[in-house]
Structure 1
Amino acid sequence: MLRIFKVSGNSMHPTLHSGDWVVTSRHRAPRESDLVVALTRSNHHIIKRVASITGSSIKLIGDNTRLSSSHCEKPVRKSSCVGTVLASFRSPMSFRFDFSAPS
């Protein structure tokens, strides 16, 4: 099943911008460097990059090195990931499939 989420905030800049949309799949297991949508303990969806996976835990990071996020301080359970990002777009005609980590 595919789901679409709207990006809010600048923690994933320059890869994603506030107002962008991402298409996710729950059926694709996250791997290191993938973008994922995770559900926080306060029931909010966040979009972050997978820094590492250890057992049933995933360490998430933002791409914007100028911002820090409290969501990135502790690893999250794999089960809190609601989808792996497959594509992003700003408008219906601007799909993007490359999510390489910024240099």
Structure 2
Amino acid sequence: MLNIIKVTGLSMSPVVSCGDFVIVRRTTRPKLGSIVVAIHPKYGQIIKRVVSLNDKEEFQLSGTNTNSISTQEMGWFPREACIGKVVLTIKKST
């Protein structure tokens, strides 16, 4: 199943920018290096890159923008928090 999500915020800029749309394929098994959309209990829906996986099927995320919420602040995500993997980015028109 695919979802279309409009990006808000700058945490993945310049790779994915505020106002872009992403096509997300549903998965609960994120892969290292993939850009995913996940749900965080404090920050809500976020889009970040998977930077770490562990043997408990948890993952950590990081943004590309230096002002992004840090990996340490977000902590580990259970795999069920993953909405899906970004498979296509549609850049906003300028």
Aligned residues: 90
User: Greater strand percent: which structure?
Assistant: 2
Q: Equivalent residue for 1:83?
A: 84
Report the CA distance shift for 1:38/1:28 in structure 2 as closer, same or farther (over 3 A): closer
Q: Equivalent residue for 2:24?
A: 24
User: One-letter code of the match for 2:64?
Assistant: D
Q: CA deviation at 1:44?
A: 2.0
The runs of 5 or more residues in structure 2 that have no matched partner are none
Preserved CA contact (<8 Å) 1:29 1:84: no
* CA distance, structure 1, for counterparts of residue 18 and residue 81 of structure 2: 22
Q: Equivalent residue for 1:39?
A: 39
- State the Cα RMSD in Å: 2.0
Runs of 4+ in 1 over 3 A off after TM superposition: none
Q: Quick check: 75-84 or 25-34, which moved more? A: 25-34
User: One-letter code of the match for 1:76?
Assistant: F
1:29-88 residue CA offsets vs partner (Å, 9 max, x unmatched): 321110000011147210000001112210100011x21305x32111111001111000
Q: Equivalent residue for 1:59?
A: 60
Give the structure, 1 or 2, with the largest relative contact order (CA under 8 Å, sep 6 or more): 2
* CA distance, structure 1, for counterparts of residue 38 and residue 5 of structure 2: 11
Report the CA distance shift for 1:91/1:28 in structure 2 as closer, same or farther (over 3 A): farther
Report the CA distance shift for 1:28/1:78 in structure 2 as closer, same or farther (over 3 A): closer
TM value normalised by structure 1:
0.78
